[in-house]
A and B are shown apart, each in its own frame.
Chain A
Amino acid sequence: MPLYRDQAIVLRTQKLGEADRIVTLFTRSLGKVRVVGKGVRRTKSRFGARLEPGMMVDVQCYEGRNLDTVTQAETLAPYGDAIARDYTAYTAASAMLETCDRLTEEREPALQQYLLLAGALRSLAERSHDPALVLDAYLLRALAIAGWAPSFHDCARCGAEGPHRAFNLASGGSVCPMCRPPGSAAPAPETLELLAALLAGDWVVADGSDPRHRREGSGLTSAYLQWHLERGIRSLRLVDRETRVDTRRSDSPAVELGGHADRPSTTPVAPAQTGHRA
């Protein structure tokens, strides 16, 4: 099959030579592919903005010996353009695209991940919710699709019905008093409710949440993500938290994220004040 056509989201681009780019496409039916966009950096390129990160396109590619080459691209939804006009949304989208790139393998179809990313980008582009909430909802659900669904209610170890006070990354979320490993975190109950709502897609609860719990939830989410990935997600450090800066100092106890014994390379995160810093 020398020529193929598919729907795709542009995950990232890297400069190649004088005027070309290597474009990482997440296609709907083929999974992730790396293709060459010839001449895309020239101002007169016929691709224009179509092969920029966050754009959803209908592409046709020609299979090459090493890398495939894009021959045609039509815009399906210019999410990337709408997102780049809002810096907060742009940094959230960058973290989503990088996470998606890391959670998927080349040429392995992943329709659920594709649909999730498309929906999250649309939500950012349409300004439906706080970009930070959209990001956290995306991260939790992407992890769940990858097989790492955290538990925010029942005990992740024995299944004992929650809610439980303790949260432990290594155990996979909420843990009951019997299973609770030493050094488990004790986030606010509202934070766990928020995270459960984000995972389930309950936007009424999520939109009504308190900035303090959003901040704590973001810290737990990013720590949970970094726990499951070998290397950290670079964009997370740069997620713009300006829209949710709360002048009240958080009085909730610093969350301990213990239990890293078998994964020494992972740096624990102190979520409350610093936001994402892993």
Chain B
Amino acid sequence: MYEGVVQDLIDELGRLPGVGPKSAQRIAFHLLQSDAADVKRLADALTEVKAKVRFCEICGNVAEGEQCRICLDARRDGSAICVVEEPKDVVAIERTREFRGRYHVLGGAISPIDGVGPDDLRIKELMTRLASGEVTEIIIATDPNLEGEATASYLARLLGPMGLKVSRLASGLPVGGDLEYADEVTLGRAFEGRRLLDV
């Protein structure tokens, strides 16, 4: 145990996801030895992020105003919505530069064992967005684990009767890996989602 404020800092850092007690201590001492200006920049960034950043009223992504950058961008295709679990998934898909539509952030996946049901996610908000008829395609990009799969099953059942084009991101083999290391479910999905080669 350290004295007063140093221990307070270690305790606060230790509450962050993925930071254990040892890491918290290391970060705390790193900060103590850093320039005052560097630490101030970090402190300002922390304060500002809480003061300025909100969640987009349309899609639920992080936003600096009432709406996020993507919802405000008129060049994006308003007929397609990609449904994701978390704002960080928006960032991951944006990095691919494959998708030019807009997003909808659910805020998690359906997990009955954790008490999270459909009503705890932003599914009602998604249905509201579909009411105008502008959207014709939904791409479900929930996590490729069983909770994400079950959430996709729920959405597919809900969206099916609405006459939209509904697709789910393909699951497949990780690029750069060896086939023999793939588990049966991943390999099975890769078979299901196989594509024709141009010959």
Pick from B154, B157, B177, B184: contact of A75, CB below 8 A. B184
Of the stretches B6-14, B29-37, B98-106, B109-117, the one at the interface is B109-117
Q: Does A230 sit at the interface, judged by CB under 8 A?
A: no
Which of A77-85, A166-174, A203-211 is the interface stretch? A77-85
Known: A49-B145, A87-B150. A81 touches B185 (CB 8 A): yes
Query: What 0/1 pattern do residues 40 to 57 of A give for CB contact below 8 A with B?
Result: 000110111110111000
Partner of B150, one of A12, A48, A50, A84: A84
Q: For residue A75, which residue of chain B has the nearest CB? A: B184
Q: Is the CB of B183 within 8 A of A50?
A: yes
Contact B157 A94 (CB under 8 A): no
Residues of A within 8 A of B183 (CB): 46-50, 75
- The CB with the most chain A CB atoms within 10 A, among B113, B150, B185, is that of B113
Contacts of B110 in A (CB 8 A): 90, 238
Total A-B pairs, Cβ < 8 A: 82
A97 part of interface (Cβ distance < 8 Å): yes
- Contact residues in A for B150 (Cβ distance below 8 Å): 84, 87, 90
Contact B20 A54 (CB under 8 A): no
A173-B146 Cα distance, complex, nearest whole Å: 37
The answer for the CA separation of A50 and B187 in the assembled complex, in Å, is 12
The reply on B144 being an interface residue by CB < 8 A is yes
Q: How distant is the Cα of A52 from the Cα of B146 in the complex, in angstroms?
A: 7
What are the residues of chain A within 8 A of B186 when measuring CB–CB?
48-49
Q: Does A237 make an interface contact (CB < 8 A)?
A: yes
Task: Flag whether A18 is at the interface (Cβ < 8 A).
Answer: yes
Per the bound structure, the CA–CA distance linking A63 and B64 in Å amounts to 48
We find that the number of chain A residues with CB closer than 8 angstroms to chain B is 33
Most buried by B among A48, A54, A78: A48
B154 close to A48 (CB less than 8 A): no
Query: What chain B residues lie within 8 Å of A83 (beta carbons)?
Result: 146
CB-defined contacts of A50 to chain B, threshold 8 Å: 183, 185
Q: Chain A 97-140, CB within 8 Å of chain B: the 1/0 string? A: 11000000000000000000000000000000000000000000
In the complex, A197 Cα to B103 Cα: how many Å? 48
Are the CB atoms of A237 and B117 closer together than 8 Å? yes
**Chain A residues closer than 8 Å to B188, beta-carbon distance:** 78, 81
In the assembled complex, the Cα of A97 lies from the Cα of B150 at a distance in Å of 15
Q: Complex: how many Å from CA A48 to CA B113?
A: 21
Q: A-contacting residues of B (Cβ < 8 Å)?
A: 17-18, 20, 110-115, 117, 144-147, 149-150, 153-154, 157, 174, 176-177, 181-186, 188
What would 10 more interface pairs be, CB under 8 Å, given A18-B18, A234-B115? A43-B174, A49-B146, A52-B146, A78-B185, A81-B188, A86-B153, A87-B153, A90-B110, A234-B114, A238-B115
Supply 20 A–B pairs (Cβ within 8 Å), ascending by A. Answer: A12-B113, A44-B177, A46-B183, A48-B185, A49-B183, A49-B186, A50-B185, A53-B113, A75-B183, A81-B146, A84-B149, A84-B150, A86-B153, A87-B150, A87-B153, A91-B112, A94-B113, A237-B117, A238-B110, A238-B117
